Structure 1
Amino acid sequence: MEFTLFQKLAAEFLGTMILLILGNGSVANTNLKECKGHESGWINIALGYGLGVMVPVLMFGSVSGAQINPAMSIGQAISGIFPWSEVLPYIIAQLLGALVGQLIVYLMYLPHYNLETDPDLIFGSFSTFDATGSKVNYFFTELIATAVMAFSSVACLKLPWGQKYPATAAIVLGLIITAMVTSMGGPTGAALNPARDLMPRLLHQILPIPHKGSSRWGDAWIPVVAPIIGATLGIGLLKICFL
Structure 2
Amino acid sequence: MNLGVIFLSEMVGTAMLVLLGCGVVANVALVKNKGFNGGFLMVNIGWGLAVFSGVIVSFASGAHINPAVTLGLTVNILGKGGTEFVPGIPIDGASIFTYIGAQLVGAIIGAVFCWLAYKQHFDEEPDPANKLGVFSTGPAIRSYGWNLVTELIGTFVLVFVVIGFGFNGEAAGLASLGALPVALLVIGIGASLGGPTGYAINPARDLGPRIAHAILPIKGKGGSDWSYSWVPVVGPILGGLLAGWAALALLPVLA
**Bin of the TM-score, shorter chain as denominator length:** over 0.9
Paired residue type of 1:236: W
**Residue in 2 aligned with 1:57?**
55
Residues 161-170 or 33-42, more deviating = 161-170
**Residue in 2 aligned with 1:240?**
249
- CA offsets 1:147-187 (integer angstroms, 9 cap, x no match): 01111112113434279753414211111111111111111
- CA offsets 1:7-48 (integer angstroms, 9 cap, x no match): 222111111001001111100011001111111111211111
**Tell me, what secondary structure is at the counterpart of 1:218?**
coil
Paired residue type of 2:47: Y
From 4, 16, 28, give the equivalent of 1:30.
28
**Residue in 2 aligned with 1:78?**
75
**Tell me, what secondary structure is at the counterpart of 1:15?**
helix
Report matched runs for 1:137-176 at 5 Å: 137-161=146-170, 165-176=174-185
- Report the Cα offset of residue 56 of structure 1: 2.4
Contact 2:27–2:36 (CA<8 Å) still a contact in 1? Answer: yes
**Tell me, what secondary structure is at the counterpart of 1:130?**
coil
2:6 paired with 1:8: yes
- Structure 1 residues 39 and 162, CA gap change in structure 2 (3 angstroms): farther
- CA offsets 1:88-116 (integer angstroms, 9 cap, x no match): 01111111100100000001101000010
Residues 155-164 or 172-181, more deviating = 155-164
Runs in 1 of length 4+ with deviation above 4 angstroms? 162-165
Query: Partners of 1:115 and 1:180 in 2: how far apart?
Result: 32
- Structure 1 residues 207 and 59, CA gap change in structure 2 (3 angstroms): closer
- Report the Cα offset of residue 76 of structure 1: 1.6
- Structure 1 residues 171 and 162, CA gap change in structure 2 (3 angstroms): farther
Paired residue type of 1:224: V
- Report the Cα offset of residue 137 of structure 1: 2.1
Contact 2:74–2:244 (CA<8 Å) still a contact in 1? Answer: no
- Structure 1 residues 206 and 60, CA gap change in structure 2 (3 angstroms): closer
- Structure 1 residues 164 and 183, CA gap change in structure 2 (3 angstroms): closer
Contact 2:21–2:50 (CA<8 Å) still a contact in 1? Answer: yes
Query: Partners of 1:167 and 1:137 in 2: how far apart?
Result: 38
Query: Partners of 1:69 and 1:13 in 2: how far apart?
Result: 10
Contact 1:32–1:122 (CA<8 Å) still a contact in 2? Answer: yes
Q: CA RMSD in A?
A: 1.7
Paired residue type of 2:170: W
TM-score if structure 2 supplies the norm length? 0.88
**Tell me, what secondary structure is at the counterpart of 1:159?**
helix
TM-score if structure 1 supplies the norm length? 0.93
Report matched runs for 1:81-230 at 5 Å: 82=85, 83-85=91-93, 86-161=95-170, 165-230=174-239
From 28, 39, 42, give the equivalent of 2:37.
39
- CA offsets 1:64-105 (integer angstroms, 9 cap, x no match): 110001111122213325412410011111111001000000
Query: Partners of 1:40 and 1:236 in 2: how far apart?
Result: 38
- Structure 1 residues 21 and 167, CA gap change in structure 2 (3 angstroms): farther
**Residue in 1 aligned with 2:88?**
none
**Residue in 2 aligned with 1:68?**
65
